[in-house]
Amino acid sequence: MTTLTVPPAVRVTGVRHRFGDTIAVDGVDFDVASGMVFGLLGPNGAGKTTTLRMITTLLPAPPGTIEVFGLDVARHKLAVRRLIGYVPQRLSADGALTGWENVALFARLYDVPRTRRRQVVDSALESVGLADVAGRTASTYSGGMIRRLELAQALVNAPRLLMLDEPTIGLDPIARTSVWERILEVRADTGMTVLVTTHYMDEADQYCDRIALMHRGRIRAMGTPAELKASVDPDATLDDVFRAITGDELRSSPGERMRDVRATRRTAHRLG
Amino acid sequence: MSEQLAVPLTGWGRPTPLSLLRLVVSRITTMSLVEVQKLRHDRTELFTRAIQPALWLIIFGETFTRLRAIPTGHIPYIDYLAPGIIAQSALFIAIFYGIQVIWERDAGVLAKLMVTPTPRIALVTGKAFAASIRALIQALVVLILAALLGVALTDNPIKLLGMAALVSLGSCFFCCLSITIAGLALTHDRLMGIGQAITMPLFFGSSALYPINLMPGWLRAFNLVNPLGYEVDGLRGLLIGTPAQLGLDFGVLALASVFMISVASALLVRLAR
Q: Is B242 left (phi over 0), alpha (psi -120 to 50) or beta?
A: beta
Domain that holds residue A35: 10-260
Disruptive mutation site among B28, B110, B112, B269 for chain A (greatest number of A CBs within 10 Å): B112
Question: Residue B96 in contact with residue B135, Cβ under 8 Å?
Answer: no
Q: Is residue A13 scored above 90 in pLDDT?
A: yes
Residue A39: beta bridge partners?
A196, A211
Amino acid occupying residue A240: D
User: Residue B230: pLDDT band by 50, 70, 90 thresholds?
Assistant: very high
pLDDT digits (tens, 9 = 90+) for B156-208: 999 999 999 999 999 999 999 999 999 998 888 898 889 888 999 999 999 88
Q: How far is B108 from chain A (nearest CA, A)?
A: 5
DSSP string, B242-267: ----HHHHHHHHHHHHHHHHHHHHHH
B24 inside domain: no
B1 inside domain: no
> CA A74 to CA B187: how far, in whole Å?
28
Q: Is residue A10 scored above 60 in pLDDT?
A: yes
> CA B206 to CA B196: how far, in whole Å?
16
pLDDT digits (tens, 9 = 90+) for B103-152: 888 888 898 999 999 888 888 988 898 899 889 999 999 999 999 988 88
Q: How far is A50 from chain B (nearest CA, A)?
A: 9
* Chain A residues with CB-CB distance to B108 below 8 A: 88-92
Residue A123 C-alpha from the chain's centroid: 22
Nearest by CB to A82, from B37, B109, B117: name it. Answer: B117
Sheet holding A210-215, edge to edge: A84-87, A161-165, A193-198, A37-41, A210-215, A218-223
User: Residue A264: pLDDT band by 50, 70, 90 thresholds?
Assistant: low
What is the predicted pLDDT for the residue at B182?
A: 94
pLDDT digits (tens, 9 = 90+) for A81-103: 999 999 988 888 888 899 999 99
Q: What secondary structure, in 3-state letters, does chain A show?
A: CCCCCCCCCEEEEEEEEEECCEEEEEEEEEEECCCCEEEEECCCCCCHHHHHHHHCCCCCCCCCCEEECCEECCCCHHHHHHHEEEECCCCCCCCCCEHHHHHHHHHHHCCCCHHHHHHHHHHHHHHCCCHHHCCCEHHHCCHHHHHHHHHHHHHCCCCCEEEEECCCCCCCHHHHHHHHHHHHHHHHHHCCEEEEEECCHHHHHHHCCEEEEEECCEEEEEECHHHHHHHHCCCCCHHHHHHHHHCCCCCCCCCCCHHHHHHHHHHHHHHC
Percent above pLDDT 90 for chain A: 50
* Chain A residues with CB-CB distance to B107 below 8 A: 90-92
At B151 the three-state DSSP class reads coil
Contact B1 A106 (CB under 8 A): no
Q: What are phi and psi of A165, to 5 degrees?
A: -105, 105
Report how far apart the first and last C-alpha atoms of chain B are (Å, whole number): 33
- Nearest CA-CA partner of B167 in B265, B53, B74, B243: B53
Number of domains comprising chain A: 1
A3 inside domain: no
User: Residue B271: pLDDT band by 50, 70, 90 thresholds?
Assistant: confident
What is the predicted pLDDT for the residue at B24?
A: 86
Number of domains comprising chain B: 1
What is the predicted pLDDT for the residue at A4?
A: 59
Give the alpha-carbon dihedral of A212, A248, A173, A130, to 10 degrees.
Answer: -40
Domain that holds residue B268: 31-67+75-209+219-272
* Chain A residues with CB-CB distance to B109 below 8 A: 92-94
A219 inside domain: yes
Question: Residue A95 in contact with residue A137, Cβ under 8 Å?
Answer: yes
What is the predicted pLDDT for the residue at B157?
A: 95
Compute the Cα dihedral for B50, B56, B61, B62 and give only its sign: positive
Sheet holding A66-68, edge to edge: A22-32, A10-19, A66-68, A71-72
Residue A263 C-alpha from the chain's centroid: 16
Q: How many CB pairs under 8 A join A and B?
A: 120
* Chain A residues with CB-CB distance to B24 below 8 A: none
* Chain A residues with CB-CB distance to B17 below 8 A: none
Question: Residue A28 in contact with residue A218, Cβ under 8 Å?
Answer: yes
A268 inside domain: no
Residue A221: beta bridge partners?
A213
Give the burial class of B217: count Cβ atoms within 10 A of its Cβ; 0-12 exposed, 13-18 middle, 19 or more buried: exposed
Say if A147 is an interface residue toward chain B (CB within 8 Å).
Answer: no
What is the predicted pLDDT for the residue at A57?
A: 92
DSSP B211: -
Say if B74 is an interface residue toward chain A (CB within 8 Å).
Answer: no
What is the predicted pLDDT for the residue at A255?
A: 47
User: Residue A254: pLDDT band by 50, 70, 90 thresholds?
Assistant: very low
Output B10 or A231, whichever has higher pLDDT: A231
Contact A157 B6 (CB under 8 A): yes
- Nearest CA-CA partner of A76 in B6, B12, B112: B12
> CA B80 to CA B207: how far, in whole Å?
10
For B:30-49, CB contacts with A below 8 A are: 30, 33-34, 37-38, 41-42
> CA A66 to CA A31: how far, in whole Å?
10
pLDDT digits (tens, 9 = 90+) for A101-156: 999 999 999 999 999 999 999 999 998 889 999 999 999 998 888 988 999 999 99
Residue A85: beta bridge partners?
A162
A197 inside domain: yes
- CB neighbours of A41 closer than 8 A, spacing ≥ 6? A48, A197, A198, A199, A201, A204, A211, A212, A213, A214, A238, A242
At B124 the three-state DSSP class reads helix
Between strands A193-198 and A37-41, the pairing is parallel
B15 inside domain: no
What is the predicted pLDDT for the residue at A261?
A: 52
A117 inside domain: yes
Question: Residue A52 in contact with residue A88, Cβ under 8 Å?
Answer: no
Q: Is residue A260 scored above 70 in pLDDT?
A: no
Here the CATH number for the domain that contains residue A255 is 3.40.50.300
B10 inside domain: no
Say if B95 is an interface residue toward chain A (CB within 8 Å).
Answer: no
